[in-house]
């Protein structure tokens, strides 16, 4: 596990972006696992900038999102489909046919989850998975639980997750309480994991994930078992290490 601590959010984002840039340059047809939330916004900005400067070509890359809210139309401006378009896909030359996001509106959720796992497997798994971490130690929306869920699954979001997500919605009642998330297996089977965290409110989750026992109550702790993890933190998120 490589832990890189940078002075601030901007430096964290630039360092994380350099990892993704190398991946795209070395393997233009790679499978990139994408995360949402506040943390990777700076990373996506850097990648868009590199594309606009003519330094990156995403046309052959394939994208799999970690998660999507249940019952939010992709056109809803709080859906993760919308987030990815607005912050990344609309500004690069991604091939729409190579963009994969769980369908939060699917009537048959179990079938949608199986389809998503089969799709990931058909593409040979994920080469580089970008990850954030929740204040409760979740990765994707794999919430603290009594066991690790290997497959893509529907999840009832933790109160702490709903609270953290509330800042994007105008009222608490609008915050989705369920989501579809990629399970732990495809995450762990990714060739490289790139986890970003910034801010003091992530410091305890980061410490538990990297230094605590490996347990499903702190889902990110499973990363300790992965042979190729790059952790990029700002100084505040690293303060308990
Ligand atoms: P954030 O969320 O980037 O908005 O803090 C991270 C996560 O919940 O994984």
Q: Is the residue at 241 inside a domain? A: no
Contacts of 52 (CB under 8 A, 6+ apart): 91
Beta-strand relationship, 229-234 and 192-197: parallel
Q: Give the domain range for residue 161.
A: 2-213
Q: How far apart are CA 195 and CA 198, in angstroms?
A: 10
Q: What pLDDT is recorded for position 225?
A: 97
User: What whole-number distance in Å separates Cα of residue 51 and Cα of residue 91?
Assistant: 8
Determine which one of 138, 153, 165, 236 is catalytic.
138
pLDDT in tens, 95-145: 999 999 999 999 999 999 999 999 999 999 999 999 999 999 999 999 999
Q: How many structural domains comprise the chain?
A: 1
Q: Could you tell me if 160 and 131 are in contact, meaning their C-beta atoms sit under 8 angstroms apart?
A: no
For every one of its 241 residues, what pLDDT tens digit does the chain have, with 9 covering 90 and above?
999 999 999 999 999 999 999 999 999 999 999 999 999 999 999 999 999 999 999 999 999 999 999 999 999 999 999 999 999 999 999 999 999 999 999 999 999 999 999 999 999 999 999 999 999 999 999 999 999 999 999 999 999 999 989 998 989 999 999 999 999 999 999 999 999 999 999 999 999 999 999 999 999 999 999 999 999 999 999 999 9
Q: Name the residue of 13, 37, 141, 158 whose CB sits within 8 Å of the most ligand 1 atoms, as the mutation to test its pocket.
A: 37
- Say how far apart CA 156 and CA 71 lie, in whole Å: 13
In a domain, 224, yes or no: no
**Cβ pair 221, 137 in contact under 8 A:** yes
Q: How many angstroms separate the alpha carbon of residue 164 from the centre of ligand 1?
A: 8
Does 239 fall in a domain?
Answer: no
Question: What spacing in Å lies between the alpha carbon of 39 and ligand 1's midpoint?
Answer: 6
Query: Is 136 one of the annotated active-site residues of the chain?
Result: yes
- Indicate if 143 belongs to the active site: yes
Whether 231 is covered by a domain: the verdict is no
Catalytic-role residue among 65, 68, 112, 136 = 136
Distance 22 CA to ligand 1 centre (A): 24
* Pocket (CB within 6 angstroms of ligand 1): 37-39, 132-134
Q: Is 165 helix (H, G, I), strand (E, B) or coil?
A: helix
**102, part of any domain:** yes
Side-chain-facing half-sphere of 191: CA atoms under 13 Å = 11
Which residue among 34, 36, 194, 205 has the greatest number of ligand 1 atoms within 8 angstroms of its CB, and so is best to mutate? 36
**Any domain includes 142:** yes
- Name residue, tokens 């489909």: 81
Distance from residue 158's CA to the centre of ligand 1 (Å): 13
Q: How far separated are the first and last CA of the chain, in Å rounded?
A: 14
Tell me: the pLDDT tens digits for 70-89? 999 999 999 999 999 999 99
**What is the pLDDT, as a whole number, of residue 117?**
98
CATH number at residue 178: 3.40.50.1360
Indicate whether this model's pTM tops 0.85.
yes
The answer to whether residue 133 is domain-embedded is yes
Pocket test for ligand 1, best of 39, 140, 205 (most atoms within 8 A of CB): 39
Active site residue 228: no
Whether 223 is covered by a domain: the verdict is no
């Amino acid at each position: 596990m490589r832990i890189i601590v940078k002075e601030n959010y901007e430096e964290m984002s630039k360092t994380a972006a350099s990892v993704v840039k190398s991946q795209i340059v070395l393997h233009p047809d790679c499978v990139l696992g994408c995360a949402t939330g506040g943390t990777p916004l700076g990373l996506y900005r850097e990648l868009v900038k590199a594309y606009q400067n003519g330094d990156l070509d995403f046309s052959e890359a394939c994208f799999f999102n970690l998660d999507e809210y249940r019952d939010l139309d992709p056109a809803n401006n709080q859906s993760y489909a919308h987030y990815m378009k607005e912050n990344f896909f609309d500004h690069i030359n991604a091939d729409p046919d190579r963009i994969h996001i769980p369908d939060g509106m699917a009537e048959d959720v179990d079938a949608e989850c199986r389809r998503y796992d089969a799709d990931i497997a058909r593409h040979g798994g994920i080469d580089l998975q970008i990850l954030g971490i929740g204040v409760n130690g979740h990765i994707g929306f794999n919430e603290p639980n009594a066991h690790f869920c290997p497959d893509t699954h529907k999840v009832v979001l933790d109160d702490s997750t709903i609270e953290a997500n509330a800042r994007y919605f105008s009222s608490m009642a609008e915050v989705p309480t369920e989501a579809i998330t990629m399970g732990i297996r495809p995450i762990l089977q990714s060739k490289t994991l790139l986890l970003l965290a910034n801010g003091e409110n992530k410091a305890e989750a980061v410490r538990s994930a990297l230094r605590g026992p490996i347990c499903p109550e702190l889902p990110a702790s499973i990363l300790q078992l992965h042979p190729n993890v790059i952790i990029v933190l700002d100084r505040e998120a690293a303060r308990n290490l």
